[in-house]
Structure 1
Amino acid sequence: MSSNRRRNTNPSRRANPSEITTPPTETTVRAFRICQLRSQDPNNLSYEERVELWNLENEQFEELVIQPALAYYDRYFQRAPAQTDGGLGWRNIWHRLQHDVAACLQLLRMSLPCFTTLCNMLQTNYGLQPTLNISIEESVAMFLQICGHNEVQKDVGLRFGRNQETVQRKFREVLTATELLACDYIRTPTRQELYRIPERLQVDRRYWPYFSGFVGAMDETHVCVKVKPGLQGMYWNRHDNASLNIMAICDLNMLFTYIWNGTPGSCHDTDVLQMAQQSETEFPLPPSDKYYLVDSGYPNKQGFLAPYRSSRNRVMRYHMSQFHSGPPPRNKHELFNQCHASLCSVIERTFGVWKKKWRILSDFPRYNVQIQKRVVMATVGLHNFIRISNFSNADFADVMTETNNNQNLSMILVTWMQQR
C-alpha cells in the first residue's frame, strides 16, 4: 500500500533551504559583533563600545591562538604525570627475579648474580647514576629487556609502570654506559699476546700441531637496520633486507677480540677487511708466522688462512654439515678443510650465542643506523662481560655441549683418516 501513496508534488509545500537555519554559535556572534564595531570610525565609538571590542578581540585571540597552542603542548611536549606507586611494576618484577632463576635468564639474559655485578660496575666505573624514583637495577633491566627481546619502549613502560619518555631516557643513559664497558671488555690483543699459543689449542689433538699458528677466527655477520628509502640500495644485502655488515674476530673462548662495525650490508667481505686494515691503525694484524682462520669469502694471504676451494675440475667440501651428512674426507685437502671448518666454527658459535641472546640484532629494526651501531657495540661488550664473569649461562652451556658432541665425531673421522 505504501507504493500507492501519492507523493506531495506541491512546490509550496516543499521545504525552502533558506528557511532551514541553525542557531548562531557564540563564535559566530562574536565575530559578527567585532566586524560590526570595526566597520565604524574608532573616533565615533563610545567608551563602552571600545571596552566591548577589546574584550571580544581578546576572547577571539584566546580561542584561535592560545587554546590550540596549549592543546598542542599538552599533547606533544607535556610530560606524563609522575608515577605515584613508587615503581610498583619493577618491585613485582624484582621479586619474581629473585625467586625464579628461569624467569631471570629469560628477562635479563643473564643470571641474577651476573646482573647485580653488571649494575654495580656500570655505576662505579662508567658513570650510570640512579634518580630519585628509579634505581640502577630498574634502568639496566629496562635496557636489557629492550635489547634482549626487541620490545617497543611503550610496552616496556607498561610492564615496569613507567611512561615512554622515562624508558627512552633511561635506555640512552644505559646505552652510553654500556658502550664504555664495551671499550674495556673488547680487548684487541697486542703483538706480544698474538705470539702466545692458546692453551686450549695445545691440548686438542685434532688441531695441534697442525694449526700451531692459529690466533683467532674471523668472519662477518649481518645485523638488521632501519634506513631511509634513499639509502636502502647501499644497505641492501643478498638476503633481501637492509643490514650492517659486521666483521669480527674471536678466540677459542668465544670472546670477541675485534669488531669492525657499521659497514653497509651490500659490501663484500673482502672489501670490509680491506677497509678495516686501511682505516684502523690498531687493526691486530698477526705476526709473520701467525694467522686468522677465515672462510672462502676472504683471500688466502699472509696472516689469513682460508680453506681449499672448489675448482672447475674438482669439488672440495668445506662446511661441517657436508661431512656430517656425507662420506668421510676423501683426500688430504678435504681432511684439511674438515679440520679447518671445525676450528673456524668457533666464530659461528659466537655469533649464534650473541644473536640468540640479543634479539634486537636480528628481529625487525626499531632504531636508525646510528643507534643500531651503538647497540651492536654495547651488546658485544655485554657478551664478553657475561663470558668473562664466569657466572653460569644457559646459552653458552648449550653451545659448549653441542660443540663437544661434534668434536667427538670429528676426532673419530680424523683417526680413521690417519689409519688409512
Structure 2
Amino acid sequence: MSLGCFRTLCDSLETNYGLRSTLNVRIEESVAMFLRICGHNEVQRDVGLRFGKTQETVKRKFFEVLKATELLACDFIITPRRQELLRIPNRLLMDSKYWPFFSGFVGEMDGVHICVKVKPELQEMYWNRHGRTSFNNMAICDLNILFTYVWNGAPGSCHDTAVLTMAQDNDAEFPLPPADKYYVVDSGYPNKQGFLALYRSSRNMFVRYHMLQFHNGPPSQNKQELFN
C-alpha cells in the first residue's frame, strides 16, 4: 500500500467511521498493526514486538479497526439490484473494443486464496492446492473495477465452483445475472447460463488460455482459441 493510500484510509476511518487515537496509540499505528495481521498474516505477539505494544493492546486495536473497516466495506461494496444489472453501462457503450461484443457483461468474477493460520485439527479443511492453509474468497467487480460482491470465508480446500455454489445457495442477496446477462469468469467456474468462461487445453487439443501465451502470435483457427 502506498503512503498516500494509507493516509487516505486512516483519514477516512477517523472522519467517517469513528476510529480514534488514544493517549498511547495513534490511528496510524492501529491501522498499521491491523494491516500487518490481515495483509501479512502476522501473529499478535510479533506485531506487538514490532510496534512496542502489549498483545492485549494489539488485540484491542485490531478489533477497533476491524469494526470501522466493516462499516467502510458496507459503503464501498454495494451489491447491484436487478434493475441496475439490466442497464447497459455508458462506459461499455462508448468502448468500441468491447461493444457490442460484450453487450451482456455485468461484471467479472474470480477467487483469491488468503493465507490463514488455523488449529491443527482444522488444517485438512483449509489446506489448498498450493500447499498452504487459506480462505478461498470470491469477489465480483464491475466495469470500473469496483467491488460489487464478496463471499468471504470458504475453506481453502474448496474449489472455486464450490464457493460459487455456497454463495448462491446461502445468500439471498447474491446478484444472479438476468437471463441475457453474464459474469466473465475463468475456467475455475462453470460455463453456463449467467457465467461466461474460457476454454482450457484438453487431452486432445492445446488451447492458449492466459494473455501472456498470446504474445507468441495471434490465435490459431480453432474455435476455442479464437473465443479466448
Give the shorter-chain TM-score range: 0.7 to 0.9
Distance 2:161 2:191 in 1: 11
Q: State the Cα distance separating 1:307 from its structure 2 match.
A: 2.1
Distance 1:241 1:323 in 2: 31
Match of 2:70 in 1: 179
Match of 2:123 in 1: 232
Match of 2:21 in 1: 130
Q: Secondary structure at the match of 1:121?
A: helix
Could you state the TM-score of these two structures normalised by the residue count of structure 2? 0.85
Which of 314, 330, 337 is residue 220 of structure 2 equivalent to?
Answer: 330
Q: Secondary structure at the match of 2:148?
A: strand
Any gaps of 5 or more consecutive residues in structure 2? none
Q: State the Cα distance separating 1:177 from its structure 2 match.
A: 1.3
Match of 1:261 in 2: 152
Which runs of at least 4 in structure 1 moved beyond 6 Å after TM superposition? none
Match of 1:13 in 2: none
Alignment of 1:193 with 2:90, yes or no, is: no
Q: State the Cα distance separating 1:157 from its structure 2 match.
A: 4.3
Q: State the Cα distance separating 1:304 from its structure 2 match.
A: 0.6
Distance 1:154 1:230 in 2: 22
Deviation by residue 1:240-295 (Cα, 9 ceiling, x = unmatched) = 22111111111232222111111111112222111110100000011111100112
Question: What are the within-5 Å matches in structure 2 for residues 151-162 of structure 1?
Answer: 151=42, 153-154=44-45, 156-157=47-48, 160-162=51-53
Which of 300, 303, 311 is residue 194 of structure 2 equivalent to?
Answer: 303
Percent identity of equivalent pairs: 73
Q: Contact 2:41/2:116 (CA < 8 Å) preserved in 1?
A: no
Any gaps of 5 or more consecutive residues in structure 1? 1-108, 338-420
Distance 1:161 1:121 in 2: 25
Match of 1:281 in 2: 172
Structure 2 vs 1, CA of residues 160 and 311 (structure 1 numbering), >3 Å: closer, same or farther? closer
Q: State the Cα distance separating 1:222 from its structure 2 match.
A: 1.1
Q: 1:202 is matched by which residue type in structure 2?
A: L
Structure 2 vs 1, CA of residues 123 and 327 (structure 1 numbering), >3 Å: closer, same or farther? closer
Question: What are the within-5 Å matches in structure 2 for residues 373-388 of structure 1?
Answer: none
Q: Secondary structure at the match of 2:125?
A: helix
Which protein is richer in strand relative to its size? 2
Which of 88, 110, 116 is residue 2 of structure 2 equivalent to?
Answer: 110
Q: State the Cα distance separating 1:178 from its structure 2 match.
A: 0.9
Could you state the TM-score of these two structures normalised by the residue count of structure 1? 0.49
Deviation by residue 1:351-392 (Cα, 9 ceiling, x = unmatched) = xxxxxxxxxxxxxxxxxxxxxxxxxxxxxxxxxxxxxxxxxx
Distance 2:191 2:160 in 1: 13
Q: State the Cα distance separating 1:140 from its structure 2 match.
A: 2.5
Structure 2 vs 1, CA of residues 302 and 119 (structure 1 numbering), >3 Å: closer, same or farther? same
Which protein is richer in helix relative to its size? 1
Structure 2 vs 1, CA of residues 116 and 220 (structure 1 numbering), >3 Å: closer, same or farther? closer
Structure 2 vs 1, CA of residues 308 and 117 (structure 1 numbering), >3 Å: closer, same or farther? closer
Structure 2 vs 1, CA of residues 232 and 116 (structure 1 numbering), >3 Å: closer, same or farther? closer
Q: State the Cα distance separating 1:201 from its structure 2 match.
A: 2.8
Deviation by residue 1:82-101 (Cα, 9 ceiling, x = unmatched) = xxxxxxxxxxxxxxxxxxxx
Q: 1:210 is matched by which residue type in structure 2?
A: F
Q: Secondary structure at the match of 1:125?
A: helix
Question: What are the within-5 Å matches in structure 2 for residues 82-101 of structure 1?
Answer: none
Distance 1:297 1:159 in 2: 39
Q: Secondary structure at the match of 1:249?
A: strand
Distance 2:140 2:38 in 1: 22
Deviation by residue 1:32-82 (Cα, 9 ceiling, x = unmatched) = xxxxxxxxxxxxxxxxxxxxxxxxxxxxxxxxxxxxxxxxxxxxxxxxxxx
Structure 2 vs 1, CA of residues 142 and 240 (structure 1 numbering), >3 Å: closer, same or farther? closer
Match of 2:163 in 1: 272
